[in-house]
């Protein structure tokens, strides 16, 4: 069933777990994620990021995401991730998305706040939820190399987060505390005290971006400190690739659908592994 981000975050807050939010730039990804959510009977978020437009146009995949969410046996939020322009956010809302994220994290505070407020005005017309980001992860959603500035000076400032939440009216806040987008080259060093401090000031569901590759122990600690949504894509996608590579090495493949089915099964297995950690009930 199709629901909003606020709906699933309320469920996560009540049970003290984190909602999995999985980027789904193609049908195979959507199938892997929704099948996994139905297997565990848990709510889930399927997302499309603006930077994936060259890979798959929103106008094509968006209606498919919405339709499959409506047909699902579990609550599914259809979310626009890392929207960089108001026009793109509006396009998603017009297609029936129930949540949008405006990413103005690289902009000056006042400009980020102004644009976030404009995004909220758009979303309220359809009843959609709004996520925003304060602090930066240093890499784009597609990954890339870490830069020298990818350090604590770009982590989310707790006091500024409090001000931003109060002045914007958002439903969820993405915070920077040591994760990065893409593949990790070293073990991440996460600032859990920062999460705890921000949560105590904003009293709002917090979002972890760059969620792939974090250890189960760190996931659990982050959830206990207040993370209620974890964005996950890179490692899921990688498992699909590895499974297809193995298939092609083992035998000659004639039909593309055999490749697609292999990728779906591998991604589904990885998503299930992630969900088994994200949705574990935590005693606070």
Q: Encode 210-270 in three state secondary structure.
A: CCCCCCHHHHHHHHHHCEEEEEECHHHHHHHHHHHHHHHHHCCCCCHHHHHHHHHHHHHHH
Separation between Cα atoms, residue 165 and residue 112, nearest integer Å: 12
Q: Which residues pair with 7 in a beta bridge?
A: none
The CA-based angle 269-273-275, given to 5 degrees, is 115
Q: How many CA atoms lie within 13 A of 47 on its CB side?
A: 27
- Catalytic positions, written as ranges: 81
Residues contacting 163, CB < 8 A, separation 6+: none
Q: Encode 4-21 in three state secondary structure.
A: CHHHHHHHHHHHCCCEEE
Contact between residue 143 and residue 173 where contact means Cβ atoms under 8 Å apart: no
Residue among 89, 40, 99 nearest 69 (CA): 99
Query: What is the DSSP code string of 147-180?
Result: -TT-SGGGSPPHHHHHHHHHHH--SEEEE-SS--
**Strand 206-208 versus strand 99-102 pairing type:** unpaired
């Amino acid at each position: 069933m199709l629901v909003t981000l606020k709906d699933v975050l309320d469920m996560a807050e009540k049970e003290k777990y984190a909602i999995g939010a999985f980027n789904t730039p193609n049908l195979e990804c959507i199938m892997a994620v929704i099948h996994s959510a139905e297997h565990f009977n848990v709510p889930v978020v399927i997302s499309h990021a603006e930077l994936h437009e060259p890979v798959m146009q929103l106008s094509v995949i968006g209606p498919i995401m919405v339709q499959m969410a409506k047909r699902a046996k579990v609550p599914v939020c259809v979310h626009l991730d890392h929207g960089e322009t108001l026009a793109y956010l509006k396009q998603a809302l017009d297609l029936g998305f129930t949540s949008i994220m405006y990413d103005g994290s690289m902009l000056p505070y006042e400009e980020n706040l102004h644009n976030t407020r404009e995004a909220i005005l758009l979303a309220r017309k359809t009843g959609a939820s709004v996520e925003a980001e304060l602090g930066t992860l240093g890499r784009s959603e597609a990954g890339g190399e870490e830069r020298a500035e990818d350090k604590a000076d770009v982590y989310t400032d707790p006091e500024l987060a409090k001000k931003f939440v109060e002045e914007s009216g958002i439903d969820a806040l993405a915070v920077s505390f040591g994760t990065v987008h893409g593949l990790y080259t070293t073990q991440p060093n996460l600032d859990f005290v920062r999460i705890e401090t921000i949560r105590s000031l904003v009293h709002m569901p917090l979002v972890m971006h760059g969620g792939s590759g974090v250890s189960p122990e760190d996931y659990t600690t982050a959830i206990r400190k207040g993370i209620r949504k974890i964005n996950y894509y890179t490692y899921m996608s990688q498992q699909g690739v590895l499974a297809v590579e193995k298939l092609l090495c083992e035998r000659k493949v004639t039909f593309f659908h055999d490749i697609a089915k292999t990728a779906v099964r591998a991604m589904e297995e990885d998503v299930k592994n992630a969900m088994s950690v994200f949705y574990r009930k935590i005693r606070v």
